Each structure stands twice: as structure tokens, then as C-alpha cells.
Amino acid sequence: MAAVAALALPTTARAIGWDGVKPYVNGGQSAADLQKLVFTPTDTSGIDPAYAAGQLSADGSPGLAQVYAHTNHQMYYKSNAKCAGARSAIDAADAKYTLAAWCFDGSEETSNRWLPQAVTSSQDAEQSSGYDAGGDEVVTVWRQEALSDDRARCPGVPNDTGRSVGLRATFIQRPYTDGTHSAFRHVLLVVPGAPNSAGLTFSPICDVHGGGASWFGPYLFVARHGSGVMVFDTRRTYLIPNETTCGPDGAASTPNDVGQVTNPSGGAQLCAAGYRYVMFEVGSFHTSPSGCSTTPDDVDAGLCFSSLALQWSGNQLVTAEYRGTADMTASGAPVRIVNWRMSDLVDRIQHGTSTPVTAASLATTNFEGIQGVVSRPNTTTGHQEYFIARTLPGGHGSELWYEQDSDGVCPTPGTFVDDTESMAYWHDSAGNAHLWTLTEYANTRMLVRVYTKEYNGKPSGCPTQ
């Protein structure tokens, strides 16, 4: 594609055909010249002294066990009256497929101040050999809208609901269809800074959409659209003392009270906007050379990270790009679906090294509006299978498509939930494969699970998008 661009051909000659044409996924593309990922450790030197000094605490010990043991919210199965309004987001798919879904409680369901973006689970985490997640959990990542009353700790972010001034991870007891085992608690994700004279500093996650997440071993990977992937360590989860009264001079905490605030004695105390628990970033992966473009001309440059998922076979992090209608029309290179070996990523995290990570594989596609991709090898052919969730332009509708690479069969569309977000793979006790996803917006917000086997049939003809 770089050579084509150098010839300065008209944009139409380079445009990616997508509207009203057959969608495709072409696996097996060369990743040799694709941007690499380089790890940068975060300064965590202030965390342990802060814990020793009592600035941070724990219900028992740091880590996730305290979060599991202190849930304070509840989910409800789709048949519950509390989900009556939210069910409109799943009605069309629920009529055609075997679908399980749960709505949230209170303002978690009715407010758009926080919007869910991504999902992963303890089954993802336990693909890391020998790791025990300590619970049967589904984890969602939410972003906080940038509003006039919550932007103080992210001063560079404008008052814009499409921008974000915080991320939180929600640990949900994997919900049952009988309505039980579905309690949850939010944990604020934060970035530690260099300690100052008052000790530990930290800040919220500013201007990150968080459109994908994958839990692997102790690490929670979260997409950073423009540059790569953030890494949080679940073992670095701590309690904030006096979490609801840690505002300035002991006042009730507000959305802007994140990090150090003034305490009644004139010193500093730590606060997390009223959240009881925080989880710390320990590093991040950034593309090298840097740069993300939603209208790239070169398949090897401008890579973006809109969603994440874990491919269990081979333990690979799957990253995918979202492009809207205008982006697709202006792009000279197709959308990229990239696999990265978790063994390489974890090696860099554990050793703190900056040796570039080369992608394991690259697939290209012309799907518009991708929100999430789950991939796996076909058990018979070994060819890659893709489940692709996309939102439709101009409304709230979504589709879930299935494609098996190199099988000579066109991709298959399926009716899906409204306003789908990213997806995660999961198996039930009988060995059936499922996909988790979320519906995004207030009053129609649900956590959803579907069977892969109900979406992977052959289409009639060659459907278009």
C-alpha cells in the first residue's frame, strides 16, 4: 500500500470497498513490517511505602479476594421486572437465539455518567498456566464521561461526553440464570506517579476510551485506542481508608477527589472519588513507530487499538480496529485484526524490558463499525474462525458475523443486541462455547451471553453489510 500512496493515485482508487459489498476477513497476512509493541514500566515505587504507612490499606490482604468479599451491587436476570425497560436492547436477538442477559441495579442501569465498554472473565485469566483467579467472575470496564463537574483531575480533556476522565473495572460474580450469584463491585483504575513529600501520588485514567479488556494471569490489559495497551496488576488492588469522607478536609468525596487531597490536619491523604478500592497500572505497551490513524493508507502503519479479546488457543491477545462510515470511505488500507503472543507481552512486563514485540499474525477486513472480535482455530480444519460484533451506522442496531478463513464460504450475519460493545470467549460446564458482550447505554444496559454454535452456520448466498 505504501507504493500505491507514493504514486499519488486518486483516493477512490485506494478506497476500501465496504458499503453494499460482501464483507471479508483475509487471514495469514504478513505482520513482519507491522508496528511493534514496546513496554514502558510505570513508576510504582510509592505504592509499598504508602501501604506500610497506612495511606493505603486492605480488607485482609491486597488483591482481588477483598473485592469479591465486599460486593455492594446486584444484577438481575432478564425475566426480572427490574429489567423490563432494558430488555428492548435484546428483544430481536432473544427471539431468534438462546440468549442469557442481566441488567444492572440503580444508577448503574439508569445513568450514562459511566458507560460499559469491555468484558473479560476469570476463564480468560486462568488460561495463564497455574493461575487461580480466586473466583468465578465476569469483569467489565467502564469509562467516565467528561463533564463539567468531573474533569478537574484531567485538565487537558474538554467538556465532551465522547471523551473520558476515568476508567473502572467491575468484578461480577458470574451471574446465574436463576438470578443468583450476581453481586458486583467497582474498582477504580489509576496510574501511580512519582512520590512527593507527602508520599504516594496517583491519578485517574484520562482520555482513554477503554474499548477492550483482557484478563490474563494477574494482569488486566485495557485498550488505549491511540497508542496500544495499558497493563494493571490485580495484585496491586488496595483499599482507600475513609473512602467516602476523603475529600478536602474530610469532606464527602467527589468525582474530582482522586489522588492526594488535603486532610483535616493540613497534610495529604489519598482519595478515589468515593471508590473503596483502586487498582494500579504497572506499565503500558505503545506502538513503535508510534501513530494511530482511522484512515490509514499503509497496512503496516497507523495501527489503532479499539478492542481486545483473548484467543485461548496459543494464548494470544487479539486487537481490532473500529472505523466508522467516513473512516472507511477515506481509508486506503483495510481494517486490521492483530494477534500478539501473551508469552511475549508477559515476558516484557515481568522483566521490565523494552525489546519490541512483533505481532504473531495479521488479518485484514472491510467490516465497518467493529466493536469486538473473538477468534479461535476451527477444530476440524485448523483455519481461523472469527466472530465479529459490529454496530450499524445511523442507529442502535448491531450484528454478529461469523467467518471461517479460507473455507470458500461467505461470512454469516446474525441478529444481535443493540449497541454491542467488545466480546469475550467463555465455556459452560458442559463444554459449550459462548460469547459475552454488553449493551452500552442507560436504561437498555445489559450483560449478555450467547452460544457460538447458534451463530456459525452457513449463509444463504453472500450477504452484504
DSSP letter string over 19-65?
TTS---EEEEE--TTSPEEEEEE---TTHHHHHHHTSSB-SSSSSSH
Half-sphere exposure of 426 (CA within 13 A, CB side): 24
Q: What's residue 6's pLDDT?
A: 30
Find out whether 278 and 335 touch, Cβ atoms under 8 Å: no
> Averaged in consecutive runs of 10 residues, what is the pLDDT profile of the chain (465 residues)?
30 69 95 98 97 97 98 98 98 98 98 98 98 98 97 95 98 95 97 95 98 98 98 98 94 96 89 98 98 97 98 98 96 97 98 98 98 96 96 96 94 98 98 98 98 95 95
**How would DSSP label each residue in 4-26?**
HHHTT--HHHHPPP-TTS---EE
Residue 12 pLDDT: 38
Angle, vertex CA 166, rays to CA 162 and CA 171, nearest 5: 115
Q: What's the pLDDT at 264?
A: 83
- Angle at 358 (CA atoms; ends 353, 364), nearest 5 degrees: 145
CA atoms within 13 A on the CB side of 195: 14
Q: Give strand pairing partners of 286.
A: 38, 228
- Looking at residue 324, the DSSP 8-state letter turns out to be -
Q: What's the pLDDT score for residue 15?
A: 73
Count CB-CB contacts under 10 A for residue 36.
Answer: 18
pLDDT score recorded for residue 1:
28
- Residue 16: all three cell numbers together: 476500501
